[in-house]
Structure 1
Amino acid sequence: MTTGGWDRVPIAAQTIEATLSQFATFLVLEIGPGDDDLATARDTIAGIDDLLKTVGFRDLSARLSCVVGIGSDAWDRMSPGHRPQQLRRFPRIETAQHVAPSTPGDLLLHVRAERSDLCFEFVRIVMDAFGSSVTVGDETPAFRYFDARDLLGFVDGTANPVGRELTEAALIGDEDPEFAGGSYVVVQKYLHDLATWASYGADLQSEIVGRDKADNTEHPDAETGQKAHKTLATLEVGGVERAILRDNMPFGRAGSGEFGTYFIGYAGNVTVTLTMLRRMFLGDPLGMYDRILDVSTATTGTIFFAPSAEQLSQLGG
């Protein structure tokens, strides 16, 4: 994550550029099949601002924020015949070596704060509001690790855009005016084999990632052959780099041997994010995949649309 992101300030729900936080909770939900289930879910997410205020006023310096994303199937139920141009299900990527699975998800709540108890309390009252209308597909509490490193030991999100570039990269613009100000959100939950990773040693780890582990300096891009993670996860079109906003966070339970990274990428053009992932899994050239995948297994993969705050509020009954 970039240090330039630390001056981003949340204003309300759906503030994509909310401050990179000490803590986060990623909540993926499935809406029940009934009309009452749908109505309750719609009303709850439409009133998310009021729920934020209920918890956030207790410590304004903790900068509690939440972004709500809506999956493709759920959007069709909420607004049939009226959908963002690029909203779709996550396309499964499968090779002989690795798989990026496609997993279900109707709603995503990306909750951020400087205090873990505020994340917990907000999720608690949101789930009370949803009641029996939803079931939990995945709940992942996450945390900032040292100087914004992942559990592999490297600084994460260094190439994040800032300022005007952030808006251009993360938000839909005039190309889909009806949904301008919204964002496509891709999430994947990765589990890491830290024992194998540790056996590589710092030099090989830095070669695989493409950055020095100690000071985060970039290694030169390989002209041919095997490319590093930072190169494969970077997309250039016509000589211009196409960025996304990453708010990845580490998570884990050391006593259970669970260590991971929750990838979350916001983009105004979801094809940019998906192309980056295809480059990682398929390789460039083909077959020379991202070697970080040998120790990092994707267990989920879902695309959501995060509407603007105004559009979100209009979904309620």
Structure 2
Amino acid sequence: MKPQTAIEPDSIKAAIFIEADIRNGQTDQIQTACRESLDALEKLQQKYPDALLGLTIAFGSSFWKSLNHPEEGSEIKPFKPLGNGLAPATQHDLMFHIQSLRPDVNFSLGMAVLAAFGDSIQVHDETHGFRWVEDRGLDGFVDGTENPKGDDILAVATIAQDKPDAGGSYVLLQKYRHDLNKWSKVSLADQEAAVGRSKEDNEEFSKEVRLPDSHLGRVNIKENGVGLDIVRRSLPYGTVSGEHGLMFIAYCGTLYNIETQLLSMFGERDGKTDLLLKHLSSAVSGAYYYAPSVERLQNL
């Protein structure tokens, strides 16, 4: 089974993230729109083969379970607030993740997808992300360093081929708003301590000196000697004069890895919260989705 095409490429330059709810009684239209969206994707991929255009269509638990595929996406559930409100829940029915090397091609696909779904959905948020200089987030640190590479990408990001839901993936989408003015007043040493890496040369601090509530200390988790890996496809978003932040999106073959990292970041495991939440970022959204294989998407 084939994974959806926004999951694997890790060298893209721009993305569109859209969340929507499905209007009552529109299941048939959703099925048709998924097929039409895949057709639009294929046409644009053929027209712009160097763009590395990809699309993920993923579903919240309520709608997915209504389709009655109990052996597929069985881990999916609604996002729940964490950390006494530090991580709010803004669960929706549907998520579109479009990414490529070209914002113009992304926009073309986005228009085609929303035309296919038409009035069967109500869009609640649309955010455009961009790759910043040197693969850095707007905090100035290199982002995505811990991502799996090569063949490990799909091995981590998707469900194994011997499972009924092979090629599927669990998705977390969160918008983080940055207070860059506040961050600029934090010393370089404290910024690096909060992240767990050096800022300029992106060197990871050793466990001996890394703070337990640093970002790496919160999300670099091992159980029985095995890392709980996820695949990030996050990008900065914002305008020069307005809001700044990070659209965090993660894919994994099991929701467990994603949720365990979140529980650690937001103090649900040991009471310690990620220092980036103190110095820089506020989560303003949070939702889990299930992205079925391309074959299942063509035949919901």
TM-score bracket for this pair, using the shorter chain length: over 0.9
Instruction: Give the distance between the partners of 2:42 and 2:154, measured in 1 at CA.
Output: 25
Task: Note if contact 2:19-2:92 (Cα within 8 Å) is conserved in structure 1.
Answer: yes
For the residue of structure 1 that corresponds to 2:156, the secondary structure is: helix
SS of 2:186 mapped into structure 1: helix
| Residue of structure 2 equivalent to 1:264 | 249
* Structure 1 position 20 matched with structure 2 position 11: yes
Match of 1:145 among 132, 138, 142: 132
The SS at the match of 1:179 is coil
Contact 1:30 1:135 (C-alpha < 8 Å) held by counterparts: yes
**Offset of 1:60 from its aligned partner?**
1.4
Query: C-alpha deviations, 1:185-221, integer Å up to 9, x for none?
Result: 0111000000000100222111100111001001112
Q: Per-residue CA shift, 1:48-81, capped at 9, x if unaligned?
A: 2211133333321111110111110111233365
Decide whether the 8 Å contact of 2:10 with 2:233 is kept in 1: no
How far, CA to CA, are the matches of 2:197 and 2:166 in structure 1?
35
**Separation (CA, whole Å) in 2 of partners of 1:80 and 1:13:** 18
Q: Name which of 73, 93, 105 aligns with 1:84.
A: 73
What is the letter of the counterpart of residue 87 of structure 1?
A: I
Counterpart position of 1:31: 22
C-alpha RMSD over aligned residues: 2.0
Aligned to 1:159: 146
Confirm or deny that 1:40 pairs with 2:29.
yes
Alpha carbons of 1:297 and 1:222: their partners in 2 closer, same or farther (altered >3 Å)? Answer: farther
Alignment of 1:123-134 (within 5 A): 123-134=110-121
Query: Does the Cα contact within 8 Å between 1:30 and 1:107 map onto a contact in 2?
Result: yes
SS at match of 1:169: helix
Amino acid of the structure 1 residue aligned with 2:198: D
- Give 3-state SS (helix, strand or coil) of 1:69's partner: strand
Contact 2:6-2:98 at 8 Å conserved across structures = no
Q: What is the aligned residue count?
A: 298
Which structure 2 segments of 5+ residues have no match? Answer: none
- The residue type equivalent to 1:282 in the other structure is G
1:38 Cα shift? 2.0
Aligned pair 1:213/2:199, yes or no? Answer: yes
Structure 1 residue 12, shift from structure 2 partner = 8.2
CA distance in 2, matches of 1:117, 1:21: 13
Q: What SS does the aligned partner of 1:254 have?
A: coil
Q: Which of 237-246 and 80-89 deviates more? A: 80-89
Residue type at the aligned position of 1:161: P
Aligned to 1:290: 274
Q: CA deviation at 1:110?
A: 0.8
Query: Residues 47 and 313 of structure 1 are in contact (CA less than 8 Å); yes or no, is this contact kept in structure 2?
Result: no
Q: Displacement, 1:223? A: 7.0
Partner of 1:122: 109
- Aligned equivalents of 2:140, 2:106: Cα separation in 1: 25
How far apart are the structure 2 equivalents of 1:55 and 1:216? 36
Matched, 1:241 2:232: no
Q: 1:225 to 1:113 in 2, by over 3 A?
A: closer
Structure 1: distance between partners of 2:189 and 2:158:
37
Shift of 1:113: 1.1
**Matches of 2:71 and 2:226 in 1, distance apart?**
32
Is the 8 Å Cα contact of residues 192 and 259 (structure 1) preserved in structure 2? yes
1:169, distance to aligned residue in structure 2 (A): 1.5
The Cα offsets for residues 10-31 of structure 1, whole Å up to 9 and x where unpaired, read as: x984452124310000111111
8 Å Cα contact 1:210/1:228 also seen in 2: yes
Partner AA of 2:82 in structure 1: I
Question: After the TM superposition, which residues 270-281 of structure 1 pair with which residues of structure 2 at under 5 Å, given as runs?
Answer: 270-281=255-266
Pair 276,13 (structure 1): closer, same or farther in 2 beyond 3 Å? closer
Rounded Cα–Cα distance in structure 2 between residues aligned with 1:52 and 1:224: 44
Q: In the alignment, what sits opposite 1:307?
A: 292
Q: Which moved more, 1:109-118 or 1:216-225?
A: 216-225
Quote the offset at 1:163 in angstroms. 2.7
Residues of 1 paired with 2:116 and 2:161: CA distance?
A: 35
Q: TM-score, normalised by structure 1?
A: 0.88
Distance in 2 (alpha carbons) for counterparts of 1:124 and 1:15: 17
Give 1:128 shift.
Answer: 1.1
